[in-house]
Amino acid sequence: MAVPACVAALILCLASAAFALDFPPLTGRVVDQAGVMTAASRSDVGAKSKDLEDKSGIQLVVATVKSLQGSDIETYANQLFRFWKLGEAKHNNGVLLLVAPAEHKVRIEVGYGLEGTLTDALSSVIISSAIVPRFKANDYPGGIERGVDGIISVLTTDAAEWHSKTTSVPRGRRRLSTSCFRCCSSC
């Protein structure tokens, strides 16, 4: 009986290893693996993220990836967030802005400690009103910078302006903190 259990465990380990994602290393506050940001925008976003962390302890990281490796963006973002261990462990106050240009996907992943402030509805508004319009204009650096500005605004100021925009998000989209940004309406 012990042999089949060992075989089953081995098969499970091999199967999970086959589906393991290969994440880029966390090299700073901006990880531009997809190469869509300019040096100036990486520097600007990195400085804003550092300032946020210095003032509040909130760790904001921007990542662009070449590929989601066959995964959906929600799973990839969640696993990358955990792999990088974003935020302070005690407060779980990390934020990940993930962009996958090849798949036309963007997501804001938020640690549990910030979910009451940076809600899925507010993340959706930031994505749809600040990020996606710039991405559709092929301005990835501008979209990322506007997204970071929106995230920081919600986390550090009165978010009433952002909350008022959640009512303009279509009902079925309010809970999504993920978006497709193709230049068509088929997403």
Report domain extents, the chain: 2-180
The helix or strand, by DSSP H or E, that contains position 98, with its residue range, turns out to be strand 94-100
Note the pLDDT of residue 164. Answer: 63
Q: Which CATH architecture has domain 2-180?
A: Roll (3.10)
Kindly list the distances between the CA atom of residue 142 and the CA atoms of 40, 44, 119, 127, 147, in Å, as whole numbers in the listed order. Answer: 11, 11, 23, 12, 8
Cross-strand pairs, 96? 61, 109
Q: ∠ at Cα 152 (180, 88), nearest 5°?
A: 100
Q: Which residues contact 78 (CB under 8 A, 6 or more apart)?
A: 109
pLDDT at site 63: 98
- Residue 146: CB atoms within 10 A of its CB come to 19
pTM of the model: 0.81
- pLDDT means over runs of 10, the chain (187 residues): 52 47 97 98 98 97 97 96 95 97 96 94 94 96 98 85 59 48 48
Model pLDDT, residue 20: 83
